[in-house]
C-alpha cells in the first residue's frame, strides 16, 4: 500500500524554525514528483515548492524563497520541509504530496501536520 506519513504536530514560537518530515512507503521516492503545500485555518491551499523530475531541481514559490528548505533522503524515502523565521501567519496544516501522473499534479497526499506559531 502506497502512502505518505508525516511527522506530528508542532508548536513553535515566532522567529523559530520547524522541520516536517514525510515518509513514503510502498514506492520509490526518486520515481515521483514531491511537493509541499499548506492550508491556513479555514483557508485554501497554497503551494510552497517541490521537485519535478522534468525540472531536475527543487523549486520554491517566490513567497517562501530564503525561508524554506526542502530536502530528501532517498535511502529512507523520506523528504523534509524546513521553514524558518516563523510568523503567526505561518500557522497552518502542512501537507506533503507526490505525483505519478502529469506535471505538478498531486495524486497522493500525506495526512497533514499542524504547525502552530505563537508569539
Q: Does 89 bind another protein (CB under 8 A)?
A: no
Touching another protein, residues 92-111 (CB under 8 A): 95, 97, 101-107, 109-111
| Beta carbon of residue 13, minimum distance to another protein (angstroms, whole number) | 26
Let me know if 86 is exposed, middle or buried by CB neighbors in 10 A (0-12, 13-18, 19+). buried
Q: Which residues pair with 118 in a beta bridge?
A: 13
Told to check if 41 binds another protein by CB under 8 A, we report no
In the DSSP assignment, the letter for residue 20 is E
Given 5, 17, 45, 53, the residue binding another protein (CB under 8 A): 45
Start-to-end CA distance of the chain, whole Å, equals 40
**All cell numbers assigned to 114:** 499542524
Give whichever of 73 and 107 is closer to another protein, judged by the CB atom: 107
Q: Least distance from C-beta 5 to another protein, angstroms? A: 12
114 part of the interface to another protein, by CB under 8 A: no
Cβ-based neighbours of 118, under 8 Å, separated by 6 or more: 11, 12, 13, 14, 88
Counting contacts by CB under 8 A, is residue 44 touching another protein? yes
List of residues contacting another protein (CB under 8 A): 44-47, 59, 61-63, 95, 97, 101-107, 109-112
Amino acid at each position: 500500500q502506497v502512502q505518505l506519513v508525516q511527522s506530528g504536530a508542532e508548536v513553535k514560537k515566532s522567529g523559530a524554525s520547524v522541520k516536517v518530515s514525510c515518509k513514503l512507503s510502498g514506492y520509490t521516492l526518486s520515481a515521483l514528483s514531491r511537493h509541499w503545500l499548506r492550508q491556513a485555518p479555514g483557508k485554501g491551499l497554497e503551494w510552497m515548492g517541490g521537485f519535478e523530475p522534468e525540472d531536475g531541481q527543487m523549486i520554491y514559490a517566490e513567497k517562501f524563497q530564503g525561508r524554506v528548505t526542502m530536502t530528501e533522503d532517498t535511502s529512507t524515502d523520506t523528504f523534509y520541509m524546513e521553514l524558518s523565521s516563523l510568523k503567526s501567519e505561518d500557522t497552518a496544516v502542512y501537507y506533503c504530496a507526490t505525483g505519478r501522473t502529469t506535471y505538478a499534479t498531486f495524486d497522493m497526499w500525506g495526512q497533514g501536520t499542524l504547525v502552530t506559531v505563537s508569539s
